Structure 1
Amino acid sequence: MSGIVVVYEMSGDDERSVLRVHAAPAAPGMTTVPGPRTFCGRDTFAMEAASWTPSGDPGSPWYPPQDASRICPTCDDAADGG
């Protein structure tokens, strides 16, 4: 999973809370910078990259466990190889 960067879709209000957690392929030659689009096709420009790095361990989630309720189902399918 080293080619996945976790990005947060944030609310536009003053609290800047996480609305949705997306997965994006890493930018070419980078490991912590997302490419221009998430796996579900959303633009990553206005999203915030997470400090979380997906584990390469089989069965480990690509997303931070505390954000499990906010993951994008399309990104989840793509990140899990589905």
Structure 2
Amino acid sequence: MSGVVVVYELDQLAAEPAVRRVHAAPAAPGSTSVRGPRTMCGRDTFAMETADRQPSDRPGTPWYDPAHAALVCPDCDAAMADA
């Protein structure tokens, strides 16, 4: 899937920043790896970290890293299912 970037909402209050929620964001215009300003669920991506794994990296697999399955944003997941 092209045009989508996986981003991590981090828990900045933890001793070391940890992934709090996994979101999908449309890629910025003219790019396939730079996130746009908002996630599929409408959150601002400014303070989010871009994941190393991207949906187009592994066709036929989930858009998110399976290790973070419990942290996937349900609204972003629904938007990705409709895409």
User: Normalising to structure 2: TM-score of the pair?
Assistant: 0.90
Residue ranges of structure 2 left out of the alignment (5+ in a row) = none
- Structure 1: how far apart are the matches of 2:11 and 2:2? 27
Contact 1:4/1:79 (CA < 8 Å) preserved in 2? no
Aligned residues: 81
- Structure 2: how far apart are the matches of 1:39 and 1:53? 15
What's the secondary structure of 1:42's corresponding residue? coil
- Structure 2: how far apart are the matches of 1:3 and 1:71? 19
Q: CA RMSD in A?
A: 1.4
Give % identity. Answer: 59
Q: Which amino acid aligns with 1:53?
A: Q
Provide Cα deviations, 1:12-44, integer angstroms capped at 9, x if missing partner: 123100000000000001111110000000000
- Structure 1: how far apart are the matches of 2:9 and 2:31? 21
Counterpart position of 2:62:
61
Counterpart position of 2:12:
12
Residue ranges of structure 1 left out of the alignment (5+ in a row) = none
User: Normalising to structure 1: TM-score of the pair?
Assistant: 0.91
Could you say which structure has the higher helix fraction? Answer: 2
